Structures are given as structure tokens and as C-alpha cells.
Amino acid sequence: MAKRVEATGVTAYYGSFKAIDDINLNVEPKSVTALIGPSGCGKSTFLRTINRMHEVLPGARVEGRLTVDDEDIYAKDVDVTAVRRMIGMVFQRPNPFPTMSIFDNVVAGLRLNGVRRKSVLQEAAEKALVSANLWDEVKDRLGKPGAGLSGGQQQRLCIARTIAVEPQVVLMDEPCSALDPISTLAIEDLMFKLKDSYTIIIVTHNMQQAARVSDRTAFFTIDRTGDPGRLVEYDTTQKMFSSPSEKKTEDYITGRFG
């Protein structure tokens, strides 16, 4: 249930603007990989190329090669919806479907896949909510609207919705930036648990968070405004935070970035 992600020469554009240039990165299965870097450095853009959400925006396109267990996800005849089912995504702001109940939110992905049997859906919903550490809090009100939960609960609901379809890879785009510290801790605990089953790639602005949760860290930056983002250094988190090889990485991590 976890696969290796390999990016080779990935370059992404918004219209004529080159947002990231020539990213080469291998992500190990069953690990947490953190993407860090200043705002606008292209780490979110890179994340969105991995499940082909980048191309949703008008004029956006991707060059290079991205494989998941040697399967080229940008091959011409690949069904993009299948790619997104295999590679789930959790967004910056919790975005449960506002008109749906908690239960309907969790099983939304399964319903899209054509699962209709009530018993199957119930089982999957419970399993996903338990995995997302949310079951005990919502088991008595599964029929209530998902939008009525607290921010942290909503984000865990979104994680449950993502893992309910049993993806191979889970992408998280600053999943804690809209949450309070306690909810953030809950999500971080959850990431530890989830990496037993999933390959997790997380974008974060929070350096402590990257140090706490990730096995490997990739540092992105831009040289000047308007330049494309590039990958500066990619190594084990321990090495990156104790003795990075690049001066730029060290400056950023120690807060001397400028």
C-alpha cells in the first residue's frame, strides 16, 4: 500500500511562467518526506505535480518524468482520475464538502469509485476514521454536517476521506497551517501512524514540524523573484538539520535566510 515516487527533471509552468525547474527527487515508500523552503519557492507546485493537480489550473503544464513504482503517471494514455485515486491529497485549509454529512464526506471517494453497498461503505468509513484518530469523537454523530466540526477535526476528516480510498501515496500541502498547536500535534501523531502504511509527502513552513515528523527533507528555494524554484538539497532530516552540505540550506534552517 505504499509506493516509491521518482521525479526526474520535473519542470512546471503556469502559462509562460516557469514555477519549478528540473526537480530530481526520489521518495522512499513508507516514509515521511518534508518539502521546506521560503514562500514562492515552488514546493507546493511540485507537490501538486505528483498527483497531477497542477494541470487543473488553466495554462498550467508539466515537463519531465514522474513515476510511481516505475509507472509513468504522465504517460499519454494514463487516466488522470486513476492517478489521483492512487495519490491522495490533503489541503492547506480543511475542505470537507460543506453540504455533506461526516459519513458522506468520508465515503465520497468510494462512492465516486462506484461503491454502493451500505455495509462496505460503513466498514470503510469506520476504518478510515479510526486511522485518522477521529472515530471516538464523531462516531455518535456521523449524520451531522462535516462543516460543523472544529478546524482540527475537519482536517482529520479530510485525511480520513483521503485514506478511505486506500491510496499509495498521501500528499499534504501545509496541512497544519490553519490549525492550533493542539490540533497540529494530533495531525503530527497521525502522520507517524500513517507512515506504516503510506508514503507521505508534506509541504510545511514549520521547521520544527519538518524536524519532528519527517525521515527525509528537501529544501527548495528561488534565487530571485521571478526565477523558477529549484531543489537545493535533499537528504535525511537528521543530516539536513544538523550538518547540511549547502550553505543556503544552513542559512535557511538557522533563520539567516535573506
Partner 1 sequence: MSDPGVDTPAPSGGGQLPRRKGFGAETVFRTGTLAAGTLVLVIIVAITAFLINEAVPALRADTANFITETEWFPNQTPPVFGIAAIAWGTLVTSVIALVVAVPIALGIALYLSHYAHRRVATTFGFLIDLLAAVPSVVFGLWGFTVFIRPVRTFSIWLNDYFSWLPFFGGDGPFGRSFLLGGLVLAIMVLPIITSLSREVFLQTPVPDQEAALSLGATRWEMIRTSVLPYGRAGVIASIMLGLGRALGETIALALTLGFINEITFNIIENGGNSIAANIANGFGEAGEIGRGALIASGLVLFAITLVVNMAARVIIYRRREFTESAA
Q: What are phi and psi of 121, to 5 degrees?
A: -60, -45
Is residue 98 near partner 1 by the rule CB under 8 A?
A: yes
Is residue 112 near partner 1 by the rule CB under 8 A?
A: yes
Segment contacting partner 1 (CB under 8 A): 51-59, 121-129, 207-215, 250-258?
Answer: 51-59
Q: In this chain, which of 47, 121, 158, 201 binds partner 1, going by CB under 8 A?
A: 158
Is residue 1 near partner 1 by the rule CB under 8 A?
A: no
Is residue 150 near partner 1 by the rule CB under 8 A?
A: no
Is residue 175 near partner 1 by the rule CB under 8 A?
A: no
Is residue 143 near partner 1 by the rule CB under 8 A?
A: no
Q: In this chain, which of 18, 30, 65, 85 binds partner 1, going by CB under 8 A?
A: 85
Is residue 165 near partner 1 by the rule CB under 8 A?
A: yes
Segment contacting partner 1 (CB under 8 A): 33-41, 94-102, 116-124, 205-213?
Answer: 94-102
Q: In this chain, which of 14, 74, 97, 135 binds partner 1, going by CB under 8 A?
A: 97
Could you tell me the smallest distance in angstroms from the CB atom of residue 101 to partner 1?
Answer: 12
Give residues in contact with partner 1 (CB under 8 A). 51, 53, 56, 58, 81-85, 88-89, 91, 93, 95-100, 108-109, 112-113, 147, 158, 161-162, 165
